[in-house]
Structure 1
Amino acid sequence: MEDDSCGLDFLNLVSPDVSACVFRLLDDPADLVRAAAVSRSWRRFVVGNNFSKILCLRICPDIANFTSAEEVNRSPQPPPTAESSRDVELKARERDYRIYSYLAGALVSAKPSMDCILHCIGASSTDNFPGESIDNTLEPRDRVHDRPSYWSSGGQDYSDVPESLTYRLNSDMCIVDEIRVQPFKAYFQPGFPIYSSRAVRFWMGHSKLPHGSESFVTDEDENLMAIADEKYVWTYISPEFPMLQENVLQSFKLPRPVLCIGGVVKVQLLGRVQKQPIYDNRYYICVCHTQVIGRSLSPVFMVEISDPAGYSVLKYLPSAKNLCVEDAMQDNGSDSMQDDGSDSMQDDASDSLEWHSLVARYRQMRHMAIMNVLLGPMQFMDEDDVGGVSDDDPFA
């Protein structure tokens, strides 16, 4: 510490290498911020050595997948002035300090986790589409209105053929702790077989396509092309977890919390254990419910795909910290947000177009998530409305 009584500074008493070793021992983001507030010399030392980014990487190694980090402000920044290269570098380091200090705090936040799935992108195969669509896996019950609710793979003659279910999360930036999968028990077949997989593995990443151009499974389209691996950059692949042949929501805790950069999760189902005892005697995998448990870092943090190669850029929106409050006011038709002069909404012509674009994307995803909760992921019709169940449906 700095001793005002004798004018001594810890940083001047030991070598820079020893000081760096001491600062790297700080594992709480709040401690690092407090250290940077001790004095100007301490702040220069913390900022100049990128300790906030180093701490972020230690907490969450997935941060290394970002090619760069940018700060996006609500109001346009003044035009650049002539600056020395040293001044430019100092400003860049200060910016990185702000971004990664706040990110480190968000990574260790104690906010409660929830199911983060927003939409189904597609499945590697579906036996009877759309009746056994991946959309059914968003319904927590295995039967709705006395009708079974589950996804079924296509049948295979060999037990080692894998399948996959791909989902879009409700945020570009989610910390995922665990994934839960419930195999389906065919209570309408002899012996009540459970169509689990032998094991599961989880992939996380982002689409290479620009935001807004990705597609989701619909009642008319199985969306098989949208799940091809070449359309994604996978930034994390989990180890394999054995799956029990039990009709329960099985929890697969990840070895560490993972930052899902881009909001896409693929559940890979490895190996088959159950043949259909009637009809075709082939191997199937059936899932009735899936959850991705985590918490969102948006809207303060968003992701932009920088080019067709799929490189990701971390976007920090400091003005979006109170965005949820503003959203609530907008949803209620209130103009009270104008009362706060320091953070009031400015005229659209003077605001940052990039800030508004990122915020609009967040609001759209948030609106879709709310609608999914209110309306439910699926609608079942009575048998009279659909003409009954087909006689050639193997799971009828």
Structure 2
Amino acid sequence: MDNYGDFLQYLGPDMSIKILMHLDDPSDLVRVCSVSKTWRQFVIGNDLCKQLCLKLLPDVSSGTQVIEVNNTIEPVTVRESRCLEWECLKRNHRVYAFLARAINPFTRKDCISEAINASSTDNYPEESIQNTLEPGDRVEDRPSYWSSKGELDPAVPETLIYKLMANMCLVTEIHLQPFQAYFQYGFPVYSAKAVRFRMGHPKFPVELQDGINKSTAGHYFEDEKFIWTYTSPEFPMDKENNLQQFKLQEPVLCVGGILQVELLGRVQRQEMDGLYYICISHVQVVGRPLLPSFDVEILDSTGKCTLKYHSATPGCISSAGTPQEETSMDMDMDRSTWGARGSF
């Protein structure tokens, strides 16, 4: 081997980066780090995992500033005689290697897994938030929709809270369909005047208790249980019975998996009681969730969290024929490489 040279030294950094960036699997780039100490320092020092991650998942770029500025994936700790900048580079190397493997490459339109709470409900459970998970406005010849309580003031807002199918999800669009009361005179559409979206995570520690009355919990439940880390601009809603699409200005990396839909202003008065209502028949979230083998654990109320890799998923067997074990990012930072089976 003494007669052979290191192509990184022969070609120089610019050409070497171009060659390595042609790799299309983050695992391959991480394996490059195991060739030698020099190669590992080259990959980490030039943020190649970050570049590859953003090349494969360009939408993730909107969330990377949150990771870098606030250390929300893994805080940096500096050990004796070690440079803070190098520790940050090593941390980013691990973070982006995980992200490149974690975010599902396929966009889904069914990113909601559970309806958690509505700020009010007119007739519970017949008009509960659970109905908004149905794709249409009728189920077995009965109307399917959520309805707020009636209000004399059309400016009173309402909120709906949902849990996404993964604790980290790259959200690009949110769709809402106002309900048209086909059983009332004139077929009124009970839309909102505008809509706004918040994303965030539960406070730590938190348990969403089964005993909570979701028809009456209201804003107290929201404020006490969740921290919102993203707020969208307001989008005007049309008073039409169709699935209205609200595309976010840029994809949002929702860490924590909680979505709040704010319905701002009422436009339809019910003839029989003279009160204003908002009714929604369907809510849909479009995005790219974490793959099932990954998860995010919120560490504290500041939003710091750990990105975990669960290789022991059903049917996931190692090359030795044995079930694999869970690994996670909250480990010794020196162990920064991960092999073909997801181990560090």
TM range (shorter): 0.7 to 0.9
Whole-Å Cα distance in 1 between the matches of residues 319 and 65 of structure 2? Answer: 37
Does 2:104 align with 1:104?
no
Contact 1:171 1:297 in 2 (8 A): yes
Does 2:309 match 1:314? no
The Cα of 1:188 is off from its aligned counterpart by 1.0
Taking the TM superposition and a 5 Å limit, the aligned residue runs for 1:232-381 are 232-276=226-270, 278-307=271-300, 309-317=301-309, 320=311, 323-326=313-316, 337=317, 340-341=319-320, 344-345=323-324
Answer yes or no: is the 8 Å Cα contact 2:161–2:258 preserved in 1.
Answer: yes
Kept in 2: contact 1:121–1:216 (CA 8 A): no
Is the Cα contact below 8 Å between 1:130 and 1:220 reproduced in 2? no
In the TM superposition, what whole-angstrom CA distance separates every residue of 1:222-272 from its partner, at most 9, and x where no partner exists?
A: 432564235322122112211111111111122222211111001111111
2:153 is aligned with 1:158: yes
1:312-336 CA-to-partner distances (Å, cap 9, x unmatched) read 313231x52x72534xxxxxxxxxx
RMSD between superposed Cα atoms in Å: 4.0
Greater share of residues in helix: 1
Percent sequence identity over aligned pairs: 44
> For 1:10, which of 9, 12, 31 is the aligned residue?
12
Tell me, yes or no, if the aligned pair for 1:172 and 1:298 is still in contact at 8 Å: no
1:28-85 per-position Cα deviation (integer Å, ceiling 9, x unaligned)? 98499878849854541331354545776883333444535459xxxxxxxxxxx974
Measured after TM superposition, the shift of residue 342 of structure 1 is 6.3
Structure-2 change in CA distance of 1:325 and 1:93 (3 Å): farther
- Whether the 8 Å contact between 1:70 and 1:316 is mirrored in structure 2 is no
Q: For 1:266 and 1:5, how far apart are their aligned partners in 2?
A: 52
Q: Equivalents in 2 of 1:7, 1:158: separation in Å?
A: 72
Contact 1:122 1:226 in 2 (8 A): no
> 2:170·2:251 contact (CA, 8 Å) conserved in 1?
yes
Describe the SS at the equivalent of 1:10: helix
TM-score (norm 1): 0.65
**What stretches of structure 2 of length at least 5 have no aligned partner?**
331-344
- Residue 154 of structure 1 deviates from its aligned partner by 1.3
What is the deviation of 1:344?
2.5
SS in 1 for 2:182: coil
Q: Give the CA deviation at 1:27.
A: 9.2
- Are the aligned partners of 2:118 and 2:215 in contact in 1 as well (CA < 8 Å)? no
Return 5+ residue gaps in structure 1 as ranges: 12-18, 72-82, 327-336, 356-396
SS of aligned partner of 2:166: coil
Q: Is the 8 A contact 2:118 2:214 kept in 1?
A: no
Alpha-carbon contact 1:69-1:96 (below 8 Å) kept: no
| Secondary structure of residue in 2 paired with 1:158 | coil
| 2:315 alignment partner, SS class | helix
SS of the equivalent of 1:8 reads helix
* 1:184 has 2:179 as partner: yes
> Distance in 2 between the 1:103 and 1:228 partners?
29
> Distance between the aligned counterparts of 2:21 and 2:62, measured in 1?
14
Output one character per residue of 1:285-333: Cα deviation in whole Å (capped at 9) or x when no partner.
10011111223214443222222x342313231x52x72534xxxxxxx
Deviates more, 1:49-58 or 1:114-123: 49-58
